Each structure stands twice: as structure tokens, then as C-alpha cells.
Chain A
Amino acid sequence: MVINSRFFNRSELLGFLALAVLLLVILPLSLDIFRLNLVAKYLTYAFVGIGLVLCWGYGGILSLGQGVFFGLGGYCMAMYLKLEASSVANTKIQSTPGIPDFMDWNQITQLPLFWKPFHSFPVTVLAILLVPAFFALIIGAAMFKRRVGGVYFAIITQAIAAILTILIVGQQGYTGGINGITDLRTLHGWDIRTDHAKFILYFVEVVLLFGCIVAAQFIRLTKLGRILVAMREQEDRVRFSGYSVANFKIFAFCAAAVFAAIGGAMFTLEVGFMSPSFVGIVPSIEMVIYTAVGGRMSIFGAVWGALLVNFAKTSLSESFPQLWLFGLGALFIAVVLAFPNGLSGIWADHIQPRIDRLFASRKSKSAAGLVADGAPAE
């Protein structure tokens, strides 16, 4: 694989550093633990966003079912935590001790087979990565090998999101139903409900996020990333050049699924529960919204989009619950109509050139200019 000589160019490096400073220094120092936990929750959507940039922005495959993978990752983690929380000692009062409380309420007396592997932490981590990838592989292989794409792919992934939600809600005894899996306590014996644990989890998540950003950047810069872009522009030409278009699409879709699943697993850890309301059609489309607002072509844009839209959602719905949906709808229409490349597009087209000009003119005057702000867009 041919890799560019520079992994990040200058503005990307600035963007990376700005994000690192914001997430690792400014936010932890300035926010209380409640708000920091909220930021951690927003950032879980940034994982999904990064995946969507790869598969939608670069590959041109719009998936409206990212909630499925987010949910699968989240549920895998929640199942492990739930099993740990429902040890025999903790569940003495149940008619069958040692199984999760909702199973007991639904007259199930034995742990179902598919729950059993989640007793082990390494298996759980593997499952978080592999189960969504496997699902994405099946869906992707079935669709892309038959050259189903574009609109049809979007609608079918949406239907899959609907199916999974109905299934989770309907099979209450096995999945916890509409309430989801709640009352999670410890991770491998470490209490995740304390403020201290939340603080540490935040940093774990940010580090994972940067890992995903680097991984996505790596994919983007290799030959594979270029073929993705070529496919989006002229699929037939790529096919006639001898590339297996379907396999590249399947890879991008699987990668996006894995990113989403990591986000989902972190979501469960940060928020302390998982429920079908993060799986279905509405959350899946909202995840696409974050990416579209941040900029479907920019990995950093997706992170900023997830942060800013969620921040706006929280603050608007706290103070004007009526206005929030109007605002979100209008934002979405505006992004699609006027700024198809989202905030990062605005940044690259309008703000970046000005800064560059400022930088250049100062340089010529005093030869020592400082650009303080390197954030992609605000």
C-alpha cells in the first residue's frame, strides 16, 4: 500500500492538536463531572460519525442503520456488566438467583445460551468488535455483491434498524425489553458509578476516539481510501479497471460498523444503561445528522458535529423544549440545501483562507505571526 509521505497535513495536524487540547485539557479542567459525563456521552456519537465519514462521505454508502451497530456494541457491553451485577449474592431475593432481574420477572429460570459467553471480559471485548462486523459483513455482502446501493441500501438498513428495535422490545425476557438493560454496577470488579470512575472513563474514551481518528485517517490515505473516493465518483470505471467494487464497499461498511460499536460500548459504560431507544430509526438518522452537520467529508468535522449538535440539543431542550425539534429540522434542511459539506466545509471555504491570508500578511510584516485558533469550525 502506498502511503502519503505526510500522515497529517498542516491544517489537519492543527485540527488534531486543537481537538486534543480541547478534549484532554480545557473540558476536563472547566466542567464539573456531570457536564463532563455529558460530553463523554456526546463523544460516543463521534465514533459513529467517524465511521459514517468513511462509508458515507468517502464511500458514498449512506447507511441509516448505524444505530444497529451502536446498539450491538452497547448491548454486548451491557450484557457483560449486567451479568456481573446479577451475581448470586446480589440477586438473592429472586426466585432464580444469579440471572438478570428482568429475566426473573419474565419467568425465565435459566440463563439463555447467547448470554453465557458474556461472563468473560475478553470474550465481551471481542464480541463488541466482531458481532457488529459480522452483521455488517452479512448485510454488506448480500447487498453490494448484487450491486444494491444508494437509496435502496439506505432504506433496507433503515428497515433492519426497525427490525432490531421491534425484536429487542418484543423479546423482553431475553433483552430487557423497552427499558433496556439497566442497573449496571461494576466493570471487572471496578465500580463505574463513582465520579472518579466517570472521570477515568472519559479519558479512556478520548484516547480511544483519537485511536479511531488515526485509524480512519490511515484508511483514508491508503490506496483503499482513494479507491473508495473513486468509486463514489465513477463506480463503473473503477469496476472496469479491475477492482472488486463490492469488497471495498463491504470493508468500508464493516469498518464503520466497528467504529459505531466501540462508541456504543463506551456509551453503555458512560451512561450506565443501554436501551432500544438508541438502536432504532430515529437515533440512526440523528447520527447521520451529526455527521452531515459536522461535514461528511471530514473526520474532525464529524467529531465537532457530534459535540456541537448534542450540546445544542441539551441546552435548547433544557430551556426551550418546544423549539428544539424546529431547530433541529431547520438545521438539517439548511445543512443539506446550503452547506452540503457541513461545518468543515464552511471552515475550509471561508475561515481557513482568511486565517491563511492573515498569517501570510503578518508574516510579511513581522515574520512572526501566531495563529491561536486551529479548530476546524465553530
Chain B
Amino acid sequence: MFGDYSISDLGAILAMQGFAGLILFSVYVLMALGLAIIFGQMGVINMAHGEFMILGAYVTWMTSNAVQHVAPWLFPGYFFIAMILAFIASGALGMLVEWALIRHLYKRPLDTLLATWGLSLILQQAYRSIFGAREVGVELPEWMMGSWQATDSIQIPINGMFVMALTMLITIAVAYVLFWSSWGKQVRAVVQNRVMAGAVGINTEKVDRYTFGLGCGIAGVAGSAFTMIGSTGPTAGQLYIVDTFLVVVFGGAASLFGTIASAFSISQTQSTLEFFLSGSMAKVITLLTIVAILMVRPQGLFALKVRK
């Protein structure tokens, strides 16, 4: 397995695979953050989460096309506009879905799974009808292309670094909003005890709606970031949904830090294994390990001690 490589080659491979793993980690974290809010905090199993992400990706694609035609001078920075638009679009759709669908189902978590699966089918078909079945990719501005030559044998793509920086920023922002802002306190109060939160004057319906919207909005930003490293198709969201749920469950559903730690360990395991085995076997082994660990430790890596 190691025979054909020299030590320095192996080091370079590990570094580059490690970096590929970091990009995967960023995508996982971005997707899992939204899900950790929706699933971990609200207890809603949102199977359409991947489709919210794809909405963000399509918004980015449309923005990039629009900017290219209307205001080419904006193109180097279009990505930041696209990200905001993606957040607004996915968040607004999320709030609409919460109002129409989810709020009737808070007491039946398994049914949210079925209903949002129906929603994801509808959204997928809608994307297919509107944007076509073919995958689309955005054009990256000049400064994001190419790679940074760290040493002779190590190359690190710039768009990957950008995605990672973005992930870090968003994570910090989400942590701030949830744990230090007064709105975040309201969210956590509603999650822990809906009735009491209502009794002390929190508008629980409004908090629910905005929380769900925030989770979906972050998914939209994740989709936006996703366009920089891959192409987007109507069913791309479904490829990631199981992985994302596993990330959240493996990390411990209510723990934001656990989500990040589990995204890190899963993505690193997978991308390192991918180099030595075939891609599918790497994935099988990673998933099997997670399932096995979850069978031994069902509460996940970092669990809040809560009396049921």
C-alpha cells in the first residue's frame, strides 16, 4: 500500500488529501449547521434540507449569469451578492414551509420526515422543470481560480481556501446568534420548554418560524458555497442529505460543537481512505464506522445531559 511512495511523497499526499478533506469538511459543516438548528434544536427532521441547499446554488448560478450580462464590472465580487440572495431566498422559502407545513407537525417528529420528503420531491421536480435536468456550473471570477503552491509538491486550490474561510465565518456568526444574542436565548428557551417559554411572554410561533428560516437560509449559503467546488443538478441535494444527518446525529443532536467535531472526523476519515481504497469502499467503511459507533454510543459524541 505504501511501497511505491517515498516519505516526502506520502507527506505531500497526506497534506493534499487532508486539505481535500477540509473542503469536504466545510461543505458538511455548512449543511450540518442548518440541520443542527432545525433537527438538533427544533426536533424537525427536514428531509428537504438538501433541496434548500440546491436552491441557494441555483440562486448563485442565476446571479452569476445576471451579473455577467448586466454589470460585468461587478463580476469579481458577485459571489457576496449571490450569497446574500441565496440566504434570503432559502430563508424565505423555509419560513413559508414552516407556516404551511411544519407548524402542524411539531408533536409528530416522524411525520415531519415523511412530509418534508414529499416537499423534497416537489422541489426536485420544480428545479428540473425550471432549470432543466442537466447540471449547471458557475463561472468563477479570476481571483478564485488557480492554486497556491505551498511547497514543490503541495498545491492548494484557492477556491477551497475561500470556502473554508467562509465556513469559519458563518460558524462563528451562528454560534454568536444562538448563544449570545437575546434572540438566540429565546430560541433555546422555546426548544427546551415551549409552554413555559410562551408563559414568560416569548412569541413561540414567531421564534419557530424564524429559527426554521435561519436553518434553511444557512443551507442556502451552503449551496452557494457548494457551486464553487462542484456543479449543481436537481437531485444533488439528495446525495448529501443522509451524510448530513449522520454528521448531526454522530455529533450529538443538540450540540453545535459536536456537529463540527463530527463533520471534521467524518470528512477526514473519508478523504484519507479515498486515496488508498476506491471511493465507494471509503464511503462504505466511513459510514459503517459511524453506524457502529452510534450503536455503541447512541447519544453521539457530545451529548447534553438532559433528564427526559
Contact = CB atoms under 8 A, between A and B. Distances in A.
B111 A340 contact: yes
Contacts of B246: 155, 159
A336 B119 CA distance: 12
B285 to A, nearest CB: 9
Interface of B is mostly: helix
A150 interface: yes
A292 interface: yes
A329 B111 contact: no
B291 A325 contact: no
B95 to A, nearest CB: 17
Chain B's interface size range is 35 or more
Interface string A48-70: 00000000000000101000000
Interface stretch (A9-17, A98-106, A163-171, A211-219): A163-171
Contacts of B109: 150-151
Given A166-B280, A288-B114, A336-B114, A160 B291 contact: yes
Which of A285, A288, A325 has most B Cβ within 10 Å?
A: A325
Contact of A169 (B104, B280, B291, B296): B280
B110 A62 contact: yes
A326 B122 CA distance: 5
Nearest to A149: B298
A146 interface: yes
A292 to B, nearest CB: 6
B1 interface: no
Chain A's interface size range is 35 or more
A281 B242 contact: yes
B130 to A, nearest CB: 11
B115 interface: yes
B66 to A, nearest CB: 26
Contact of B104 (A62, A166, A331, A337): A337
B209 interface: no
A335 to B, nearest CB: 8
Contacts of B283: 166
Which of B114, B126, B298 has most A Cβ within 10 Å?
A: B114
Interface string A316-344: 00000010011011111101110010000
Which of B281, B288, B296, B298 has most A Cβ within 10 Å?
A: B298
Nearest to A324: B125
Contact of B101 (A152, A160, A281, A337): A337
B249 A152 contact: yes
A209 to B, nearest CB: 25
Given A159-B246, A163-B287, A325 B124 contact: yes
B202 interface: no
Contacts of B291: 156, 159-160, 163
B12 interface: no
A322 B249 contact: no
A280 to B, nearest CB: 10
A73 to B, nearest CB: 21
B74 interface: no
A346 interface: no
Contacts of B117: 285, 289, 332
A151 B110 contact: yes
B281 A170 contact: yes
B70 to A, nearest CB: 31
23 contacts: A64-B113, A151-B43, A151-B109, A152-B249, A154-B113, A155-B246, A156-B291, A159-B287, A166-B284, A282-B238, A285-B117, A289-B117, A322-B125, A326-B126, A329-B118, A329-B121, A329-B122, A329-B125, A330-B122, A332-B114, A336-B114, A336-B118, A340-B111
Interface of A: 62, 64, 142-143, 146-148, 150-152, 154-156, 158-160, 162-163, 166-167, 169-170, 281-282, 285, 288-289, 292, 322, 325-326, 328-333, 335-337, 340
Q: Which 7 pairs across A and B sit closest by C-beta, in order of nearness?
A: A170-B280, A332-B118, A329-B122, A329-B121, A325-B125, A142-B295, A329-B118
Interface of B: 43, 45, 101, 104-105, 108-111, 113-115, 117-122, 124-126, 128-129, 238, 242, 245-246, 249, 278, 280-281, 283-284, 287-288, 290-291, 294-296, 298
Given A166-B284, A336-B114, A340-B108, 19 more contacts: A146-B296, A148-B295, A150-B109, A155-B249, A160-B291, A162-B287, A163-B291, A170-B284, A285-B117, A322-B125, A326-B122, A326-B125, A328-B121, A329-B119, A329-B121, A329-B122, A333-B115, A335-B114, A340-B111
